[in-house]
Structure 1
């Protein structure tokens, strides 16, 4: 299943790479001042497109991982404690949604789950973050919730690239800056470097979640 994510992520990344190639060729053919607004807009929209791939890759890895685990029919007592924050998410949320009249009954019912030690099936559409765009803080929340053992980033420098990617994508998406205003700050070489770094993270992310499933790191260590 992770091979499908890798294939689709790669296909989308190739589109971005070809866009950079087109921008480079266009700028080399005819250097005009001020620069062609279509090309500078394309350079700005590069960040929107690249963020979409970054988010697609991460969210697909999460949903696939949750689907695989849910299908394994695992009991509560077998999971690592932190993973239960995901597996029992709906039950945990319901604790905060109940009125005072029934709050204790709901708490007893929740803790009865541990005595009953039932098999847990859960939806695969949960991303364990605060719901904001995925910066390092959100990645940290995901890694902690899954109890992933590998580092969050393949290289610390990529954290800055992700921050920049989210900031520029949001600036365009929220109308704070136009694509051409952002695009004129970057050369094709600048875009290529950012492409390579996000490509590296996407490849790393797939590897991390695939390794997580293969080694069953969501289960308590054998005693």
Structure 2
């Protein structure tokens, strides 16, 4: 059901672990203890951690929508906020139309919403404001897809997610050198951050798994 997401997230997590293992290996060698290469590798840990988190969230959403797409229902069978994603093209049609067709598009939207036809699901839809993944995007996904429980497991600090995003962006966009960011952290601190990201990724995948298995995407008025 979510096997491919599990495997790919696991590969990305292992990438971070391997990078940290390399850093530890370099630390054990006197010639590298204060070298720039060690600081650079520590900086790039943030890039690796961010890639795990972004892939996990976007792939979980896409996989969930693909599962719904395989057995579509009429729009009103789904929970309210989920319709924000399922009727994305209809919302976009209203947003992008001119004044002459605005009311026609509104009528079309209501017709689609109340239709007895199965909804046409686009699995590429992702609720985002176009900004990189951070705590806000995770909260939005949790709400729109009606995932049960807290979106952040115990021990996951939302400030850490912002820290990872900001450092990744600073390196990727050239605002800071990986060496300068990496020099601020010990390998022990980076290992702790990796463990937290791994825990969050597992929590996200399991949240979507549970929501699909328990049919939590269906309106409470619909008999399973």
Q: TM-score, normalised by structure 2?
A: 0.94
Matches within 5 A, 1:1-223: 1-30=1-30, 35-155=34-154, 157-222=156-221
Deviation at 1:121, TM superposition (A): 1.9
Distance 1:83 1:173 in 2: 33
Q: TM-score, normalised by structure 1?
A: 0.94
* Deviates further, 2-11 or 203-212: 2-11
Distance 2:193 2:115 in 1: 50
* Deviates further, 72-81 or 176-185: 72-81
Change (3 A) 1:114 1:184: closer
Preserved CA contact (<8 Å) 1:71 1:121: no
Distance 1:170 1:128 in 2: 20
How big is each residue's C-alpha offset from its partner over 1:78-136, in whole Å with a ceiling of 9 and x where there is no partner?
A: 01111111100100110111111121112112111234232012111111121111111
Unpaired runs of at least 5, structure 2: none
Distance 1:104 1:121 in 2: 22
SS of 1:60's equivalent in the other structure is helix
- Cα RMSD between the aligned structures? 1.5
Change (3 A) 1:32 1:13: closer
Distance 2:115 2:64 in 1: 25
User: In the comparison of the two structures, how many residue pairs are matched?
Assistant: 222
Preserved CA contact (<8 Å) 2:94 2:105: yes
Deviation at 1:32, TM superposition (A): 6.0
Moved over 4 A (4+): none
Distance 1:135 1:172 in 2: 16
Change (3 A) 1:84 1:32: closer
Unpaired runs of at least 5, structure 1: none
